[in-house]
Amino acid sequence: MLRALELAATPGVPLGPNPRVGCVLLDADGQEVAEGFHRGAGAPHAEVVALAEAGDRARGTTAVVTLEPCNHTGRTGPCAQALVDAGVRRVVFAQPDTNPVAEGGGAALAAAGVEVEHGLRETEARAVNRVWTFAVDHGRPFVTWKFATTLDGRSAAADGTSRWVSSPEARRDTHRLRALADTMLVGTNTIDVDDPELTVRDELDQPVPQQPLRAVMGLRDLPATKRVFNDRAPSLHLRTRDPHEALAALYRQDRQHVFLEGGPTLAAAFLEAGLVDEVVAYVAPMLLGAGRNAVADLGIHTMADARQLEVTDVTVLPGTDTAHHTNVRITMRPSPAVEEEA
């Protein structure tokens, strides 16, 4: 299974919309016969790749797969049936497939007389497809809220200026994180005031080939001349102020990971709705004393009601010279108690 997990996590494989899957075929002595991994939507599934490599040698083998073989016909046929047709004797999979479209592969295999086991290294398999698993289990995209702040919690000065709270190194790191999502989401006010392009750019500040969807949320009409509507990436105007409606619309388009970069009002709306699953804060060694808060009023009036977050990572992003300050990236998630309430 460890080898199958390595295959599933092969660098360069798209993070969505399909899950990343690895498969290894073993003979009766536990020796590898063939292996394969899924290269993205429309490509053969991991099991099919391994079966094609094995040919007639697949008969009587054990298939070790990171995700339960699918049981539906989409762009490709059902993997469960392919394993049966190839004469595979036993299937061991790590993570059950709870996608209602594809689930049931294990039962189909067992009904065909194939020995089936599951649960081996399921935690590691879920980690390979963290976002996909969350989206399937919750019926909505995973939401990462990213913001930059001074030490006293300001995202802009009293005159509205915000360039630059974050350092060049932090901004480059932000582009790296943007590339891990399939959707950028901001509010109409951010587009009106800042006119961001919301593209992902590389180390040379050039757009990368694969761009996330640029989604703008709000009822306000926006000029077509705004940079978010240029031809460098797809764009979508979600005419709603309801975070639940926005995420439902994106999920219907098979979007699984929303990178929330809107202003304090939009952030507060998602937090109040319990729809923030990860927080990435870039903290600059600055003090402003006044200015725009990183998040708007959450209706909290006592310390006992404070939103609790669990720190999962702290990374120092040093400046390249004395003119560029150091930032600290703090990655957090809602505490278990908050997740249960949401």
Does 190 appear as a known binding residue? yes
Does 198 appear as a known binding residue? yes
Backbone angles phi, psi at 294, to 5 degrees: -70, -25
Does 321 appear as a known binding residue? no
Does 178 appear as a known binding residue? yes
Does 240 appear as a known binding residue? no
Does 145 appear as a known binding residue? no
Bridge partners (DSSP) of residue 196 are none
Does 79 appear as a known binding residue? yes
Does 148 appear as a known binding residue? yes
Q: What is the DSSP letter of 207?
A: B
Number of Cβ within a 10 Å radius of residue 72: 17
Report helix, strand or coil for 313. strand
Whole-angstrom CA distances from 317 to 162, 273, 313, 330 are 19, 31, 13, 11
- The answer to whether 309 touches 174, Cβ cutoff 8 Å, is no
278 is catalytic: no
If we measure between CA atoms, which residue out of 135, 97, 136, 122 comes closest to residue 4? 122
Does 268 appear as a known binding residue? yes
Q: What is the DSSP letter of 70?
A: P
Does 161 appear as a known binding residue? no
Which listed residue (47, 68, 169, 278) is catalytic? Answer: 47
Does 46 appear as a known binding residue? no
Instruction: Tell me the C-alpha distance between 77 and 90, whole Å.
Output: 20
- The answer to whether 324 touches 168, Cβ cutoff 8 Å, is yes
Whole-angstrom CA distances from 135 to 28, 107, 156, 193, 248 are 37, 23, 33, 32, 11
Does 45 appear as a known binding residue? yes
Q: Binding site for NADP(+): which residues?
A: 148, 164, 190, 194, 263-269
Q: Binding site for substrate: which residues?
A: 162, 178, 198, 201, 261
Q: Binding site: which residues?
A: 45, 70, 79, 148, 162, 164, 178, 190, 194, 198, 201, 261, 263-269
**Residues taking part in catalysis:** 47
